[in-house]
Amino acid sequence: MTKNKTFLGVPVARPKVGFFELSSCEGCQLQLLNNEATLLDFLSLVEIVRFREGMKEANDEYEIAFVEGSITRADEEERLKIIREKAKLVVALGSCACFGGVNQLKNRFNDLEWVKKEVYGSFPIETQEVKPLSAVIKVDLEIYGCPIKKEEVERIVTALVLGEEIHHPQYPVCMECKARENICLFDLGEPCLGPVTRAGCDAWCPSNRLGCWGCRGPAPEANLARLQIIMAERGISQERMIDRLECFGGFAGFVAEVKANKEESK
């Protein structure tokens, strides 16, 4: 490990990091503990000063803040702003933080009162339209996935510590899937967002014969128009395609477009 180097103003030698969670399942943080074989090495790379789910000690002297979850209540916005003030680098950890994640599916009803009533009846409960971190603060780095891939996080954190630049793949999951020589899910009659979703997960789901649900959001070069044609050619309904595209919020713009076209053609 080199000293004196910095990345975005963060000293690279064993940076102090804090982990935080907004509305989420806290699974992305647990993914870090789930890498038992390399956990102790990983811990030697950074100094964890705040990780509520794992430790009692806590201080606010963190340089890098990893924030999991999306914003669904006013107090979360306030917490996030304080984190932004204290941290030199804010990392959105996982799809909830990057795009709103599965939580943002409640936004599709455009009717928060109905949503509240459906779950809580007349009991008063506070909630907002779900927002990703970037809707409230400046986010320096996004780590995609539901869940995050721990190997990818380790690679990214190592790069952060060493002051290297971080690159996300520009190509889609399909590329990784082909490299693993998997049977194409479309040939098995399954819908798959592999052709349009940002790679980096090593085709995690398709390698287990589950079509991709697009948790990492669109690849920069994604040909979404072509995806619609592929789905139609394979006899996969628009409903199933939208189920997947809207699941994590990464394709929100495109989903709105498809839904608008659908309304128009009615």
Q: Interacting stretch for another protein, rule CB under 8 A, among 8-16, 151-159, 165-173, 205-213? A: 205-213
Positive/negative CA dihedral, 72, 73, 79, 85: positive
72 versus 160: smaller Cβ distance to another protein: 72
140 versus 231: smaller Cβ distance to another protein: 231
Question: Does 262 participate in binding another protein (rule CB under 8 A)?
Answer: no
Sequence-separated contacts (24+) of 223-230 with Cβ below 8 Å: 223/195, 223/196, 224/196, 224/251, 224/254, 226/195, 227/193, 227/195, 227/196, 228/258, 230/186, 230/195
Whole-angstrom distance, CA of residue 187 vs CA of residue 178 = 13
* Cα→Cα distances 250→56, 97, 208, Å: 34, 11, 22
Q: Interacting stretch for another protein, rule CB under 8 A, among 82-90, 113-121, 171-179, 192-200? A: 113-121
What six digits make up the tokens of 104? 């943002």
Per-residue mark of binding to another protein, 218-247 (x: CB under 8 A): ---------------------xx--x---x
Among 6, 8, 81, 114, indicate the residue that binds another protein (CB under 8 A): 114
7 versus 62: smaller Cβ distance to another protein: 62
**Minimum CB–partner distance for residue 57 and another protein (Å):** 4
140 versus 206: smaller Cβ distance to another protein: 206
Among 12, 13, 45, 105, indicate the residue that binds another protein (CB under 8 A): 105
Whole-angstrom distance, CA of residue 249 vs CA of residue 123 = 28
Per-residue mark of binding to another protein, 132-161 (x: CB under 8 A): --------------xx--------------
Let me know: does 20 contact 83? Beta carbons within 8 Å.
yes
Whole-angstrom distance, CA of residue 137 vs CA of residue 140 = 10
Whole-angstrom distance, CA of residue 203 vs CA of residue 182 = 9
Per-residue mark of binding to another protein, 12-51 (x: CB under 8 A): ---------xxxxxxxxxxx-xx-xx-xx--x----x--x
* Cα→Cα distances 5→1, 8, 123, 191, 254, Å: 10, 10, 54, 46, 41
What six digits make up the tokens of 30? 């647990």
39 versus 136: smaller Cβ distance to another protein: 39
Helix or strand run (H / E) with residue 47:
strand 47-51
**Minimum CB–partner distance for residue 28 and another protein (Å):** 7
User: Contact positions toward another protein, by CB under 8 A?
Assistant: 21-31, 33-34, 36-37, 39-40, 43, 48, 51-58, 72-73, 76, 101-103, 105-106, 109, 114-116, 118-121, 123, 125, 127, 146-147, 204-205, 208-210, 213, 239-240, 243, 247
